[in-house]
Structure 1
């Protein structure tokens, strides 16, 4: 990456391509146009992962998430993924069960 140090856009794209798993999920929850250059990306990433979650979140916290009445499904899914990304080693089956639980509550609300 040293070869491209003067090209912020390319540095950001190359950095994003190196991410995997939960970190990649976190990256995709960032708001569009939030990051203006690679220095800002470095700062946001460092703030998020410098301590690598000294406060451990547990996967059962996903079950307490609820979609707000005025919240779009897209926004809710983005928020859900952001919370999942905060849980180190979150099992996908638990996250899937938690999201199904809330989708069932949404369906019941719409039907009534």
Structure 2
């Protein structure tokens, strides 16, 4: 879609339809009325997702990590552990909830839920 053909306000309204995953999560957490133009929104987005690739994550970001059906439990746990290590203020209980919420249905998930 050619954004340049739209007004500044229309560009801001169309922008979230181009996002998914962590980028959409970031956009949804922007406080209301903090962006006054599409140019400002563009700069915020670039700063957040291009220049801050090593930023620390929040608990919300952990819920985005999912075990895909073709991914082994070991690979999922490794990926999750790596991302969890980048979370500054996430407690173990919240991390465990995120980890188990996104496990594929398996015996391991059953055992974790049976013991809580």
Could you tell me the TM-score, scaled by structure 1's length? 0.50
Higher relative contact order (CA 8 A, sep 6+): 1
Which of these two proteins has the greater Rg computed from alpha carbons? 2
TM-score by length of 2: 0.48
